[in-house]
Amino acid sequence: MCLGVVGRIDEIDGQMAMAEIMGVRRQISIVLVPDVRVGGYVMIHAGFAINEMDEKDARETEDMIREVLKHS
């Protein structure tokens, strides 16, 4: 099973980006989602953005992750 987290793209520099992930900024690779833009949401796994998400799905996914973390 793979676990991904949701991030919002804050800055882009070539094939790398800074993403805000549940309040923490991290550098990630966007090589797999080359059309992503600043302000866009992505699913991140192992430091790579693996697909783009719309804001509604991103927020719902983040809420589910927070709920799971609360009970673990």
Q: What is the pLDDT of residues 17-67, one digit of tens each?
A: 999 999 999 999 999 999 999 999 999 999 999 999 999 999 999 999 889
Residues 6 or more apart whose Cβ sits within 8 Å of residue 46: none
Given pLDDT bands bounded at 50, 70 and 90, which one contains residue 3? confident
pTM > 0.75? yes
State residue 1's pLDDT score.
55
- Domains in the chain (CATH in brackets) are 5-70 (2.30.30.140)
The CA distance from 50 to 33, in Å, is: 7
